[in-house]
């Protein structure tokens, strides 16, 4: 839809509101709502099942195979897995182009993490049960309800379980999909499901840059080579100084030193040490400024430790000195939705129809990729409530999941348009 001059961001066009209201009045939609309420036990079962299949970063294939089987059982067509592990299934429509409904399959938990997935009343517990157990379950619920009530629509729906959203995955699943002209040129709208909840609309893509910093030195024996430059000390000095970099509250900008490694034994001067740094901002310029601050802190730290080496062992010559390397391990583009984007009109009309209050947010999700390409995309929750994301205490409460699923179904069909 072309932007209307003068239309306020806060206004939903009456035509869009009307379209959602008439969608809601269809008997198939009423049956779909009843189905979603009645099948909650089945949905919780799927969620527990998938959370029990480990999906560490770069190790999503078992969960992907499980999802592909479910897609087939639920009657999706052209079910297949691409070369990076993204799983696809389609629900055909009458026109060309796609509306995607996607959820990431991966978790932040490394291989071997004890999964202890369990249910207590309406609550499910276990690592990844909400992020993104809630999103993947919602995709299955929508595929299942479409099959159950025989809903038809104009644009085909493309269901995707994608790899590589979390951490070092660096959105590789979505990046791969949108680098293929076959998909990039045919996907009109992307609806991304990430985590629990019904009260948010992520329409702005939070950018991030992540680095592995490796400091190297000659190493040596702690007693006989005393004085040799120490990479761990360089890291400590660099962290101390980088951590004092001021950051603005607006645009919100953050940094974190998340992992530190190095050394071989207590009586060895280490040959290398490394750390992982995460920089995030709503502004590209702030991310660049922090990257420069990090490089400066490292330059200074190397300089100081080299001088300290001179002072400790003035006559000693080492085979080589200190060096550091900054390796980019993550780079998520920032971007935002056009204020009059149709996808925003549709989700806000759906929320008005359902009496649901939702806030527009900026976050880093799979939607970063289409948003950074100027395409229409939002990320929303899979319903219910959740907490403890990225911890072993993660939980998901199924109560109220129905609202989230109704919201997803209406948004998806609103975007796909009416079948003739
Ligand atoms: Zn997630």
Q: Residue 148 Cα, ligand 1 centroid: separation in angstroms?
A: 28
Q: Residue 132 Cα, ligand 1 centroid: separation in angstroms?
A: 5
Q: Residue 195 Cα, ligand 1 centroid: separation in angstroms?
A: 5
Q: Residue 135 Cα, ligand 1 centroid: separation in angstroms?
A: 8
Q: Residue 109 Cα, ligand 1 centroid: separation in angstroms?
A: 12
- Cite the beta strand spans of 282-322 per DSSP E: none
Q: Residue 272 Cα, ligand 1 centroid: separation in angstroms?
A: 33
Residue 290 tokens read as 């922090």
Residue 269 tokens read as 């001067």
Q: Residue 136 Cα, ligand 1 centroid: separation in angstroms?
A: 10
State the DSSP code for 167.
G
Q: Residue 360 Cα, ligand 1 centroid: separation in angstroms?
A: 17
CA distance 371 to 178: 11
Phi and psi torsions of 268, nearest 5°: -120, 140
Question: In the prediction, which pLDDT does 205 show?
Answer: 87
Q: Consecutive sets of 10 residues in the chain, 420 residues long: mean pLDDT of each?
A: 40 94 96 97 98 97 98 98 98 96 97 95 97 98 96 96 92 97 96 98 92 97 95 98 96 94 97 97 87 98 96 87 95 84 97 96 93 94 96 96 98 92
Torsion of CA 335, 338, 341, 344, to 10 degrees: 60
Which residues are within 8 A (CB) of 270 and not within 5 positions of it... i.e. 6 or more apart?
217, 219, 230, 231, 232, 262, 263, 264
Whole-model pTM: value is 0.81
Q: Residue 381 Cα, ligand 1 centroid: separation in angstroms?
A: 9
- Cite the beta strand spans of 30-185 per DSSP E: 77-81, 87-91, 98-104, 118-120, 123-125, 157-162
Q: Residue 361 Cα, ligand 1 centroid: separation in angstroms?
A: 15
Per the rule left: phi > 0, alpha: psi between -120 and 50, beta: everything else, 4 is: beta
């Amino acid at each position: 839809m072309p932007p209307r001059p003068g239309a306020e961001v806060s206004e939903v066009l009456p035509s869009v509101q009307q379209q959602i209201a008439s969608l809601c009045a269809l008997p198939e939609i009423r049956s779909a709502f009843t189905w979603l309420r009645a099948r909650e036990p089945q949905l919780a079962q799927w969620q527990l099942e998938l959370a029990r299949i480990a999906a560490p970063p770069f190790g999503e294939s078992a969960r992907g195979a499980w999802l592909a089987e479910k897609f087939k059982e639920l009657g999706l067509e052209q079910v297949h897995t691409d070369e990076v592990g993204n799983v696809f299934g389609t629900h055909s429509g009458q026109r060309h182009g796609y509306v995607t409904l996607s959820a990431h399959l991966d978790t932040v938990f490394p291989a071997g993490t004890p999964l202890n997935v369990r249910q207590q009343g309406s609550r499910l517990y276990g690592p990844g049960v909400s992020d993104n157990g809630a999103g993947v379950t919602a995709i299955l619920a929508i595929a299942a309800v479409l099959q159950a009530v025989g809903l038809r629509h104009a644009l085909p729906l493309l269901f995707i379980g994608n790899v590589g959203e979390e951490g070092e995955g660096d959105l590789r699943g979505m990046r791969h999909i949108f680098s293929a002209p076959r998909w990039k040129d045919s996907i009109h709208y992307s609806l991304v499901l990430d985590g629990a909840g019904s009260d948010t609309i992520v329409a702005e893509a939070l950018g991030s840059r992540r680095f592995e910093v490796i400091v190297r030195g000659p190493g040596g024996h702690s007693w006989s080579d005393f004085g040799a430059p120490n990479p761990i000390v360089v890291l400590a000095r660099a962290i101390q100084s980088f951590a004092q970099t001021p950051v603005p509250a607006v645009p919100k900008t953050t940094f974190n030193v998340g992992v530190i490694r190095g050394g071989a034994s207590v009586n060895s001067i280490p040959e290398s040490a490394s750390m992982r740094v995460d920089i995030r901002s709503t502004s590209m310029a702030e991310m660049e400024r922090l990257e420069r601050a990090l490089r400066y802190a490292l330059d200074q730290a190397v300089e100081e430790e080299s001088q300290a080496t001179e002072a400790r062992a003035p006559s000693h010559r080492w085979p080589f000195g200190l060096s550091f390397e900054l390796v980019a391990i993550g780079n998520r583009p920032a971007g935002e939705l056009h204020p009059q984007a149709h996808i925003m009109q549709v989700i806000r009309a759906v929320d008005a129809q359902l009496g649901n209050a939702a806030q527009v947010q900026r976050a880093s999700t799979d939607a970063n990729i289409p948003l950074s390409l100027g395409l229409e995309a939002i990320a929303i929750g899979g319903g219910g409530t959740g907490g403890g994301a990225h911890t072993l205490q993660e939980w998901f409460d199924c109560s109220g999941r129905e609202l989230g699923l109704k919201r997803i179904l209406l948004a998806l069909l609103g975007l796909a348009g009416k079948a003739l």
